[in-house]
Amino acid sequence: MSLDRERVLEILERFGNLKVLVVGDVILDRYVFGKVERISPEAPVPVVEVQKEEFRLGGAGNVANNLANLGLKTSLLGVVGQDYGRHIVRGLLKEAGIEDLTVEDPKRPTTEKMRVVALSQQLLRIDSESKKAVEGKVLEELLQRLEMDVDGIIVSDYAKGVVCRELMDRIRERKLFFSVDPRPENRNLYVGADLMTPNEKEARGMLQEENLKNLGWRLKRELSLSTLVITLGQKGMALFDSEFRVFPARARQVYDVSGAGDTVVAVLTACALSGVDWDTACELANLCAGVVVGKLGTAVAKPEEILQSLEEGCRV
């Protein structure tokens, strides 16, 4: 591995000079933590005694949070409802130092995923959302707010209706570096991306191809992508740029994989905008993802955690 402490510190210092806009589906992640000591007499389900609740930025919000924690100047553009959830989202953005460019849509709720957790196990997830495509004044406002001065754009698509043809056309018109964390059903919207980062399941949902190497090259060619990285879970990630390479995963303990893809697209984009070569970028992204999957729920990799993980890996 070519990464060492000095190299990581140098890269993190470069990040501080960048300004990135994250565009996509903002999700409010709500965690209800409790304990289970009995089964309900009303139905064969556990009774959860609530001990605490936490709210975290999810979806495009988690991508932005990852960037902000890496020291980048970060803005978030997406849609929230005219409900209490929007106040929580905006409070979390302010706390994280992320510029809030969210647009209110009176016709939809703030997308929320509520997870009930007991003994570190997720018992239930409840989603409140609308997947209808944005339109009218809300779409106009989104397109207007795209025009800000930034070094690059990350499109975080969770298929909740924000990422649409009009939005992607306007992003391409700006001729800035843009990366995409995709959803298979919207594959044709991503043509011309500088970077796309599907996981293996998403990549296979876009094309019928058994061989991973062939799958990657076909996706890259058919969508005219400059660079493609397919994340492979515990096997690491596969890079398709001028050639094909696989980078082993760096996680020492996998606790929860939710949000790891957000971390990967954030780190790879920051590296690309900083002029870091793709091999080093993939090594750093693997290192950061390894930090994140060791935590419960939506999470970020902080610089001190990245350095600690690097040092622990070097001692193995």
Model pLDDT, residue 158: 96
Residue 293 pLDDT class (50, 70, 90 cuts) = confident
Model pLDDT, residue 256: 56
3-class SS of residue 256 = coil
Give per-residue pLDDT as tens, 180-211.
Answer: 999 999 999 999 999 999 999 999 999 999 99
Q: Which amino acid, 301?
A: A
Mean predicted confidence (pLDDT) in 217-224: 97
Residue 252 pLDDT class (50, 70, 90 cuts) = low
- Between the alpha carbon of residue 43 and those of residues 40, 54, 116, 131, 203, the distances in Å are 6, 27, 17, 31, 40
Query: Within a domain: residue 33?
Result: no
Residue 56 C-beta-side C-alpha neighbours within 13 Å: 21
CATH number at residue 181: 3.40.1190.20
Of 25, 29, 105, 262, the active-site residue reads 262
Give per-residue pLDDT as tens, 5-35.
Answer: 999 999 999 999 999 999 999 999 999 999 9
Instruction: Report the distance separating Cα 83 and Cα 100, nearest Å.
Output: 16
Query: Within a domain: residue 42?
Result: no
Query: Within a domain: residue 69?
Result: yes
> Any catalytic annotation for residue 262?
yes
Q: Mean pLDDT, the chain, as a whole number?
A: 93
Query: Within a domain: residue 119?
Result: no
pLDDT > 50? residue 316: no
Query: Within a domain: residue 66?
Result: yes
- Between the alpha carbon of residue 299 and those of residues 103, 118, 127, 256, 263, the distances in Å are 24, 18, 19, 9, 8
- Between the alpha carbon of residue 137 and those of residues 68, 99, 134, 247, the distances in Å are 29, 21, 9, 44
Query: Within a domain: residue 80?
Result: yes
Give per-residue pLDDT as tens, 104-114.
Answer: 999 999 999 99
Q: Are 62 and 146 in contact (CB under 8 A)?
A: no
Question: How many domains would you assign to the chain?
Answer: 1
Query: Within a domain: residue 40?
Result: no
Write out the residue range of the structural domain in which residue 285 sits.
5-26+59-109+130-315
First to last CA, the chain: 13
Q: Are 28 and 110 in contact (CB under 8 A)?
A: yes
In the block, residue with structure tokens 């605490």: 52
Query: Within a domain: residue 245?
Result: yes
